[in-house]
Amino acid sequence: MPPSAEVESPSSSSVCGWAIRLLVTQLYDPDVEVSEVAVQILEESCNQKTVLEYVVRCRPALDHLNSIGAPLLLRFLSTSLGYQYLKGLDYITREMDDWFLGRNYSYVTLVEATLSRAFFTSPEIAPRSKSTDPSHPPGYESLPPHFYRELSRTEEGCELLRESGHFDRFATIIRDTWTEHEDTEAIVKLKGCMWAVGNIGSMELGASFLEDSDAVSLIIQMAEQSRVTTIRGTAFFVLGLISRTLHGMEMITEHGWTAATDYLGRSVGYCLPLQLSTFFMLKPERGFVKDTQRSTQMDSRPRPVTDDEPVHARVLSLVADTGNAVLAKKAANDLNGIKMRHPEAFASTELYRKVRDVLGNHNFRLPIRRFLLDLFDRNVMRNIVLDEDESENESIRTQRPVHARSRLP
């Protein structure tokens, strides 16, 4: 039964009902791998409300599976029938306390790893979205399930969330720490609260929580002004979640952002500011670098090494190119060609010193450094060590062949 296929309404006498009951039975298999596969199939099948409610009526017990069965239990929260079933098991209260005290922050690591795989994996091998809703963009449902998002799908869940005061606590943490940029623990906590607010606001029933707080304006400020790029990125994705609802789109529009929509006018979960520079440009902090310090830093940057002699200038340019992995091979061949045509250039101590300056100003691999230094005449190093004048070196080099011939019989 493919999870994305339209199936008949399950009943005790239907094939679909029989398959679901069989899968529920496999949840109790002694082999954990079998139980895990059964959970995955049931979770994907529960994209259809009728299937989800039938699975709930089977009253599966998943406590023995621990974290393996957690995604399926979270799916139960999306219907009133599933909410009442889990409430009777005292699952909701325990899970809410667990998420509020710790899981909400460990979710940050999980979702960032998921996003990293989504962006850095080729499309051919990227995981397909489990969503059957055509309004969802590809990969939307591939985000890890979030307890507060599933809780906000029903009126009973929203009422429990309102009574717990958790949303107000998340908004308070965002308000108090949105300017944080050094404390790593505080940044993770801030991101966890942002994801919780975004997941709650992505549901039609949960969007009402946003209207009673300043969470949206604070998240937009973080997207535009935070000095931490990962906080800006988190704010971008969270605003995309919030824009999934009509109320969310209206609130974002009031703050100068716009949400992308499909041909039916439904949000696809992406939004950007009307002035893109407010999001993509990082402004330096005032007083962070004094003018004198800035000018000193600019002066201390390595300047290009040049030479008035055309051949020497060409050599220095090619030496710089050898530091580029793309240009290195061609530059090495050109240097060998110049050495054959102009061997006198590689007997110059002045050029050697300038090449040495280039090597000192940039990062070169050891084989490249050896290649560049071996291009020069061995007497150049002798002259550098003995601090001899280059004119003396020229006279020695011109006289040496004469003495050599005089020794021949």
> Can you tell me the mean pLDDT for 180-195?
89
Read off the DSSP letter of residue 364: -
Task: Read off the pLDDT of each residue in 64-84 and give the average, rounded to a whole number.
Answer: 82
CB within 8 A of 239, min separation 6: which ones?
Answer: 198, 216, 219, 220, 223, 252, 257, 271
Mean pLDDT of 47-62: 82
Residue 67 has pLDDT above 70, yes or no: yes
Mean per-residue pLDDT, 131-158:
71
Is the alpha carbon torsion for 31, 33, 34, 39 positive or negative? positive
Dihedral sign for Cα 347, 350, 356, 361, please.
negative
Distance, in Å, from the CA atom of 231 to the CA atom of 178, rounded to the nearest integer, reads: 9
Stated as kind and residue range, the H or E segment containing 404 is: helix 390-406
CB-based burial label for 84 (10 Å; 0-12, 13-18, 19+): middle
Which residue has better confidence, 80 or 140? 80
Residue-wise pLDDT tens digits, 84-141: 888 888 889 888 999 999 889 999 999 998 888 877 755 544 444 444 444 444 444 4
Confidence of residue 261 (pLDDT cuts 50, 70, 90): confident
Higher pLDDT, 7 or 146: 146
**Burial classification of residue 386, based on how many CB atoms lie within 10 Å of its CB (0-12 exposed, 13-18 middle, 19 or more buried):** exposed
The alpha carbons of the chain give a radius of gyration, in whole angstroms, of 34
**pLDDT reading at 328 higher than 50:** yes
User: In the numeric block, which tokens belong to residue 255?
Assistant: 């703050």
Alpha helices in 11-122 (DSSP H): 15-26, 32-45, 49-57, 70-76, 80-88, 91-98, 104-120
User: Which of 78-87, 232-241, 259-268 tops mean pLDDT?
Assistant: 232-241
User: Of all helices (H) and strands (E), which one includes residue 258?
Assistant: strand 257-261
pTM attached to this predicted model: 0.62
**What is the pLDDT at residue 285?**
57
pLDDT digits 0-9 by tens, 377-407: 888 877 777 765 444 455 444 444 433 333 3
369 pLDDT exceeds 90?
no
Residue pLDDT, tens place only, 204-215: 999 889 988 889
Strand, helix or coil for residue 260:
strand
- Evaluate if residue 191 carries a pLDDT over 90: yes
For residue 190, is pLDDT > 90? Answer: yes
